[in-house]
Amino acid sequence: MIQQIISNSYKKAKRIPLNSTSKFIFFSDCHRGDNSYTDDFSHNGNIYYHALNTYYENEYTYIELGDGIELWENPNFKEIFEAHQNVFMLLRKFHLKNKLHILWGNHDMVLKNDKKAKKLLGSYFDKITSTTKDLLQGLTLNEAIILDVEGFKKNILLIHGHQADFFNYVLWKWSRFLVRTLWKPLQILGIKDPTSPAKNFKELIKVEKRLKKWILANNNQMVIAGHTHRPRFPKPEELPYFNDGSCVHPRSITGIEIVAMQISLIKWHTITKKDGTLQIVKTVLEGPRNIADFLNNN
C-alpha cells in the first residue's frame, strides 16, 4: 500500500523544468508555530529569514517540501501568521516573482484542500490599515513535484516523505488528534511523540527503508524529501535518496541547493566572532555534485 501511495504521488506531481540556468533552494519541516513554548521554529527564525532573504536577493526559486506550517499543534493560522509575519511576507515576494512552490506534508495536510488553502493563505488582515490584503493569492499547493531535467530521460521527484509513513499519511487525522490532546501538553515535560520519525529513530529508519524500496523498484528514481528531519546526501553509487533535513535543528537549519546542474547539502547556522557578536553563515556539508552522477545511476 505504501509503495502505491508513493507511485500515486509521482503520477499526480506538478512538473517544473530544471536546466543549467536554474537555481533552487529546498527547505522543509519549518513547523512555523505561534511563538509559544511548542514553536520549535521560533528558535531559528532569524537564521531562516536571513537565509531565505539571501536566496531571494540572488534570484533562487524556493521549493518548500512540506510541514512549513505547524497546523497540528496550532489550529489557529492567524496566530501563526502574526508570530511570523515577516517570513510570510518574504514568501509573498517569492510568489510575486513566480518563484515559490509549496508541498503539503502531514502537519499541514489540511492545505491539500484548495478551498482551505485559499482561505488560510490567500489573504491577511492588515491591522495598520484595517484592510484585507493579498498574501499568497493564486498559489496552488501540491503533494509532489517532478523536476524535468533538461537533457535527461530521468527526472527528480520531490515529496514531503510522509507518503512512506502509514500513520502520518493514511491516519493523519488520528495522529493530529494525538498531537493536540496528548503529545503537545507532554512536550513541556520533555516527553516526545514516539510516532514521529523525527523523534523516533526506529520510525525514521522504517520510513527511509520504504522510500529506498520504492526508488529501487522504479529504476533508481532520484528523490528529494523531508519529513524525517535527517539530512541525507548519497554517494553516486548509492540509491539516489536525498533529504534536506529540517529548519528546527538546534541553532541551525539545513537544506538542499541545485545550481548550475549541481546539487549540494547546506547548513545555515550562527558562529560567535572574536568580538562576541553572532554571525549567520552558510556551510556546505556535502557536494556540490553533478546531478548527472545520480540520474545516470541505473
Domain ranges of the chain: 2-295
46-53 mean pLDDT: 98
CA 163, 108, 142, 261: dihedral to nearest 10 degrees? -80
Q: Is the per-residue pLDDT at 109 higher than 50?
A: yes
Q: What is the pLDDT of residue 189?
A: 47
100-114 mean pLDDT: 94
243-265 mean pLDDT: 96
Cell numbers found for residue 148: 524535468
Return the residue matching grid coordinates 523498484.
217
Q: What is the pLDDT of residue 65?
A: 98
Q: What is the pLDDT of residue 63?
A: 98
**pLDDT band, residue 4 (cuts 50/70/90):** very high
The 10s digit of each residue's pLDDT in 190-215 is: 555 555 555 667 888 899 999 999 99
**pLDDT band, residue 216 (cuts 50/70/90):** very high
Mean pLDDT, the chain, rounded, equals 91
CATH number of 2-295: 3.60.21
Q: Is the per-residue pLDDT at 185 higher than 70?
A: no
222-225 vs 241-243, strand pairing mode: parallel
Specify the pTM. 0.92
Q: Is the per-residue pLDDT at 297 higher than 80?
A: no
**pLDDT band, residue 271 (cuts 50/70/90):** very high
Q: Is the per-residue pLDDT at 60 higher than 90?
A: yes
Q: Which residues contact 124 (CB under 8 A, 6 or more apart)?
A: 81, 85, 88, 132, 133, 135
79-101 mean pLDDT: 97
The 10s digit of each residue's pLDDT in 135-151 is: 999 999 999 999 999 99
241-256 mean pLDDT: 96
